[in-house]
Structure formats: C-alpha cells, structure tokens
Chain A
Amino acid sequence: MKKTTKNLINIALLLLMFVGLYFLEQHFGRRSMLITVLKKGAIYALIAVSMNLLNGFTGLFSLGQAGFMLVGAYTYAVLTIPMAKRMAVYQYYDGGIINFTVPTIVGILAAGALAALLAMLIGMPVLRLKSDYLAIATLGFAEIIRAIIQWDTLGPITNGSNLLKTYPTFKSVIPVFAAATICIGVIVLLINSTYGRAFKAIRDDEIAAEAMGINLFHHKQMAFIISSFFAGIGGALLAMYQGSLQANAFKASMTYEILLIVVIGGMGSVTGSVIASFLFIACSEWWLRFLDTETYLFGGTVKLPLLRSGFRMVVFSVVIMIVVLFFRKGIMGEKELWDLFTPKKKKEGIKP
C-alpha cells in the first residue's frame, strides 16, 4: 500500500469514528452510561499512552504520572474559573489572587506546558537514577507536588485543600475525543520518528544506544517532558470530566491504576493502551457494576453470595493479577493494531 493511500484510509477512519460518535450521542443522550464511559475512556487513553511513552517506549519506570496530571488539572481549573465565580470558590481566601480568566483552549495548553516545565525541573536530578530508584523518586515527587498544592499558604492560588469548581467543562463527547485523538496522534508520530527510534534504542539497551551517539540524558529528559505535557493535558481533561477538583484524589494509587492499564494493553503498544483504557473504564464504571449490587434470585428468596459493594474491584484486581502473571505481554504486546493488518513475510503471532 502506498503512503498516501494509507493516510487517506486513516483520515477516513477517523472521520467515520467521529460521525459514529455523533450518532451514538444523539441516540443515547449525553448523560447515558455509554457516552460517559467513552468520555472517561478517551481521557484515560491519552493518559495511559503518555505513560506508555515513558515506561513502555523509553524504558523509564516512572511513577509520577498522577503528580503531573494534578498539576495540569489545577493549572486548567485555576486559570479558567470565571471571574464572577471566583469569590464563591475561593471563599476562604478572599476570592484568590488571580484576577484574570483565560479561554478553555489556552487553559488546556497551559496545563500541559506547566506540567512539562515541572518535568524539566524534576527530570534534571531524577533521570540520572536507574529503574526502581527512578520509580520511587518520581513517586516521591508526585507526593511532594500534592502536598505543595494543598499547602495553606498557596491557598489564594490553589484554594488549599478545598474544592475547585465552576470552571468550564464539556458536555459532548466530541471535543474530548478530538483532544485525545490529536494528542495520541502526535505521540504516535513522535514514536515513529527518528527520536522515537532513539527512545526505543534506549529502552532496548542503554549502553549500546549511548555507544551509537545517542545522548541518554537529553533523550530521557525529552521523553519525560513530552510525556508529562500530555499527562498535564490529560489531567485538565479529567478535571473537566469531573466538574470539580480536589488534590487528594491524585494519589499514588491513581498512578498505579494507569500503570496497570498500560500493562494490560501491552508495554510499548499505543493501541494496546487505548483498548485497555476503554476496557478498564467500561468494566469499572459499567459492565462490572452488577457485582456491587446485592442480587436476589428466585423472586427474592436466594441471595447471590459475595455480591455487594466493593466486590467489583476485587474481581477486577484478580483479573489484573492474572494478566500480570500469566499474560505478561498484555493484549497487544509491542504490536499495534495496524501491524496485525499489514502482511509480513514472517508471521509472528502475539505471544502471551
């Protein structure tokens, strides 16, 4: 297939997706479960892909994702709360000290930019560390960021540990998908560029990559900054999805959840992360909900055992453990969806 034909097919598929989304939304309504899952799934897909860029493609085991999402979410919310509503939101801080409001799109970009800037500063010291030390240092930084945001003294900006709300949100699923698609598209382009190849070289063998003239620190930092930029944007979108925002929700367990999504999808596969995100959100928000409700059979005489609040997450984590232990390559391994349709001389199936 020629390149131009391929591009045309891709564009057509994307258009088809948006048309499909439009009709789904018309048919089921914006508040339906399906549309809600699609919204949250798209946001998680972006965040998971951004984490995969770091952990799966560059081989940097970073656990700071929740911290960068938090920065993005707060940057967005703080900058876009309408002036008229600031007094009510910042009721304990005299309306806060920020007296301007930026348009939504500027807010989202600022969210990415600030997260990226922070990543640059944090990256300088921590990217010299190796594997598990890097993991624990980035985890530590995420916790520090959370503490700083909740700090009373910064209250006039961050509203301390109080809720941020009334910032602009989206109602339709289309803008969320558009944002996520653009961001993921850029990441895919990056991964397939000469820089992406350098990232993968570092993942495969740091020593050989360095011997081939690839500056390790420079490239690791680049991956870290870009990943954090998109995590920041993901954070902003998540804030929009939730409608209100509190730093306390962005704990290490959020990072773990995203990491597990990446693992289920396959470390080093963008499509894997996307599929896993939608599956993860659909299961936890929708398909496995019945596990959380007490159910009676035979006209209410027999109570189904085990089913009650919290059981869904238990089943869910057992499934995750099974994937982690027995299907270590995840759904896609290192392959992409389009690899499966491209004929190859030597066929290699997805090995579990």
Chain B
Amino acid sequence: MFDRILPYLLSGISVGGQYALIAVGYTMVYGILRLINFAHGDIFTAAGFFMVYIATALPVQFAIPLVIALTVALGFTVERIAYKPLRSAPRMSVMISAIGVSYLLQNLMWYVTGGLAKQYPTIPWISESITIGSATTKVVTLITPVLTILLVIALVTIIQKTKIGMAMRAVSKDFETAQLMGIKINSVISTTFIIGSLLAAVGSVLYFSNYTSVTPTVGAMPGLKAFVAAVFGGIGSIPGAVIGAFIIGICENIIKALGYTTFSDAFTFALLIVILLFKPTGLFGEKTSEKV
C-alpha cells in the first residue's frame, strides 16, 4: 500500500511547494489591495513561455535569471496599467480588471504560440531521475519543498525585519492611515507585485520541469488552486498560504492515487467552500467587519 502511495505523496509535496510559491503572490496582493489577482496564474504561465523561448537562445544558467526578470517586469507592468488607475474605484471594478488582464494574457499567449503546446526545456540536474525506495521521480520533486521553504523564510524575514516589510504590514493593516503616515503606497504595492511575480517565476520553473509542456491556459488551474490555498490558510497570511498549499497538493495527489482523478480539481473547490462556510477567515486569517 505504502509503496503505491509513496510516488503520489512525493509529487503531492512537490506540487504543494509549487502551489505555495504562487499562493504567496495571491495572499500578499490580497493582504494589501483586497484584490483577487486573477491574472496571477497567467503570469505564472507567461513565465513558462519566457523559458521556452529564451532557452532556445541561451544556456539554462543564464536563461533562468532572465526569465525571472521578465516575469517580474510583467507583474509590475500589469499592476501599473490595470490596477493602479483603479485605486479609488470600487473593489468590483478592480476584480473585473484583473479578469480582463487574465483574458488578455491568455489570448496574447495563444497568439504568440499559435495555440500549440510548447515543450519545456530540460534543465540539467533538476530534470534528472532519481529513485527513492520504490518510487522513481525527478530531482525537482525533492528540491521543490526545500526551495519553497527557504524562499518563504527569506520572505518572512524581509517582511518582519526590513523597512519595506514594515511598510507592507502597515499598508495591509490600514491602507488610508498608512498613506497619511507618509508611506509611499505605490512603491509598496509595486514591491508586493514584484515579490509575488518573482516567486511565481521560480514556481513556474519547478512546475514545468515536472510537467514538460506549456499551453496558454495551463496556469489557470494551478492559479485557482493556489488561490484556494491562500484562502484556506487565511488570506493575507503567508505561513497560512504555504501550509494550505501543501495540504491541497498532498490531498489532491492522494485522491488521484485512490483513482478519483476527475475529482482532484473538484476537491480543491469543495475544500474552499467548506472552509468559507465554517471558518471564512481561514486557518490564520484575521476578522474584519463593516462599521454601521
């Protein structure tokens, strides 16, 4: 039994780590702007395509930093063009704008690639196979959780210890007051998008090394799942998002192991609905209420 489950467990932990890297981007943006950044999953996909195209021209060790830089630039641009002009608009408008950006990015990627699935380049070492006990897997499966946790620790340290981190915490607590206290809202928000996109780019390298092909809509599902992970953990909480992501990744793969592959996606949403009904603030979220 364990032998049969082990490969699924391993890939569950790995996928969980990849979701975690995307989920952090969602949760940080939500924490600050109260916006579900529907385009985040597409930024993740775009990172995949950047790699596909850049790796044809450059060796991998140069390609990866360039991919990360381009993804960060994309995330930054999306924020500046599609969200910044709507700073004082109702939340619904910003959410619609996010959906619009997602639609635009998907169509743009379809146009550039001609709608065909692209082969993801093989990255030396992390794409190699490795055998653990009875399970054969790729190196990337093993390094994902480690890398994820290291990155998240680094991020939490930045948020707790640095000046910009303090500004981020202030803005997420109270947008208006933080602004009145002289915090440069726009640079804080940009930083948030930069960090989120950076982690999504890293997540994308890890994710596609495992799945090997990229299509324009491939990021939508992991994106939504990462969002569910963020809600599950308590939106706005980084450790919450990471724990949520691992739980979802593992559960999903165990469901596949049990032979209910059709429901592995549905499970995530069922989990979302259960958590929203019984603990809408998630595992580590804070409560807010409207003043009458």
B80-92 Cβ-contact flags toward A at 8 Å (1 or 0):
0110011001011
- Contact between A311 and B111, CB atoms less than 8 A apart: yes
A136 CA to B270 CA, complexed, in Å: 11
Shortest Cβ-Cβ A-B pairs, 3 listed: A140-B269, A310-B111, A147-B266
- Give 16 A-B contacts (CB < 8 Å), ordered by A residue: A61-B92, A125-B273, A131-B91, A132-B95, A135-B95, A143-B266, A147-B265, A253-B103, A253-B217, A308-B114, A309-B111, A313-B110, A314-B104, A324-B93, A324-B97, A325-B81
- Contact between A144 and B100, CB atoms less than 8 A apart: no
Nearest-neighbour CB distance to chain A for B274, whole angstroms, equals: 9
Query: Which A residues, 207 to 245, have Cβ-Cβ distances below 8 Å to chain B?
Result: 207
- Contact between B95 and A61, CB atoms less than 8 A apart: yes
Q: How many residues of A contact B (CB 8 A)?
A: 45
A109-152 Cβ-contact flags toward B at 8 Å (1 or 0):
00000000000000001101101110111011101101110111
A308 CA to B112 CA, complexed, in Å: 10
A257 CA to B106 CA, complexed, in Å: 12
Does B115 reach chain A (CB closer than 8 Å)?
yes
Q: Which of A28-36, A73-81, A82-90, A315-323 contacts B (4 or more CB under 8 A)?
A: A315-323
Does B258 reach chain A (CB closer than 8 Å)?
no
Does B220 reach chain A (CB closer than 8 Å)?
yes
A132 CA to B262 CA, complexed, in Å: 26
Taking CB atoms, residues of chain A closer than 8 Å to B158 are none
Nearest-neighbour CB distance to chain B for A312, whole angstroms, equals: 9
Does A42 reach chain B (CB closer than 8 Å)?
no
- Contact between B103 and A257, CB atoms less than 8 A apart: yes
Given contacts A260-B99, A325-B82, 8 further A-B contacts (CB under 8 A): A131-B92, A136-B231, A137-B276, A143-B265, A150-B262, A308-B111, A324-B100, A325-B86
B108-129 Cβ-contact flags toward A at 8 Å (1 or 0):
1011101100000000000000
A341 CA to B292 CA, complexed, in Å: 39
Q: Which of B89, B106, B272, B273 contacts A253 (CB 8 A)?
A: B106
A259 CA to B111 CA, complexed, in Å: 22
Closest A residue to B107 using CB positions? A313
Query: Which B residues, 42 to 101, have Cβ-Cβ distances below 8 Å to chain A?
Result: 81-82, 85-86, 89, 91-93, 95-97, 99-101
Taking CB atoms, residues of chain A closer than 8 Å to B262 are 147, 150-152
Q: Which of B35, B86, B114, B272 contacts A136 (CB 8 A)?
A: B272
Closest B residue to A208 using CB positions? B292
- Contact between A328 and B227, CB atoms less than 8 A apart: no
A317-341 Cβ-contact flags toward B at 8 Å (1 or 0):
1101100110010000000000000
- Contact between B99 and A328, CB atoms less than 8 A apart: no
- Contact between B108 and A314, CB atoms less than 8 A apart: yes
- Contact between A139 and B224, CB atoms less than 8 A apart: yes
Does B277 reach chain A (CB closer than 8 Å)?
yes
Closest A residue to B271 using CB positions? A140
Q: Which of A151, A260, A263, A313 contacts B111 (CB 8 A)?
A: A313
- Contact between B228 and A253, CB atoms less than 8 A apart: no
Query: Which A residues, 181 to 221, have Cβ-Cβ distances below 8 Å to chain B?
Result: 207
Taking CB atoms, residues of chain B closer than 8 Å to A146 are 266
Closest A residue to B217 using CB positions? A253
Taking CB atoms, residues of chain A closer than 8 Å to B99 are 256, 259-260
Does B165 reach chain A (CB closer than 8 Å)?
no
Taking CB atoms, residues of chain A closer than 8 Å to B290 are 207
A132 CA to B103 CA, complexed, in Å: 18
- Contact between B85 and A126, CB atoms less than 8 A apart: no
Taking CB atoms, residues of chain B closer than 8 Å to A257 are 103
A148 CA to B101 CA, complexed, in Å: 29
Closest B residue to A321 using CB positions? B100
Taking CB atoms, residues of chain B closer than 8 Å to A313 are 107, 110-111
- Contact between B220 and A143, CB atoms less than 8 A apart: no
- Contact between A147 and B115, CB atoms less than 8 A apart: no
A48 CA to B266 CA, complexed, in Å: 26
Taking CB atoms, residues of chain B closer than 8 Å to A207 are 290, 292
Q: In the complex where A140-B272, A140-B273 touch, is A252 in contact with B220 (Cβ < 8 A)? A: yes
Does B183 reach chain A (CB closer than 8 Å)?
no
- Contact between B111 and A136, CB atoms less than 8 A apart: no
- Contact between A260 and B106, CB atoms less than 8 A apart: no
A151 CA to B265 CA, complexed, in Å: 12
Closest B residue to A315 using CB positions? B107
Nearest-neighbour CB distance to chain B for A331, whole angstroms, equals: 15
Taking CB atoms, residues of chain B closer than 8 Å to A129 are 276, 280
- Contact between B111 and A314, CB atoms less than 8 A apart: yes
Does B188 reach chain A (CB closer than 8 Å)?
no
Closest A residue to B108 using CB positions? A314
A129 CA to B290 CA, complexed, in Å: 14
A143 CA to B35 CA, complexed, in Å: 21
Does B36 reach chain A (CB closer than 8 Å)?
yes
Taking CB atoms, residues of chain B closer than 8 Å to A125 are 273, 277
- Contact between A144 and B266, CB atoms less than 8 A apart: yes
Query: Which A residues, 43 to 66, have Cβ-Cβ distances below 8 Å to chain B?
Result: 61
Query: Which B residues, 193 to 245, have Cβ-Cβ distances below 8 Å to chain A?
Result: 217, 220, 224, 227-228, 231
Closest A residue to B269 using CB positions? A140
Nearest-neighbour CB distance to chain A for B235, whole angstroms, equals: 9
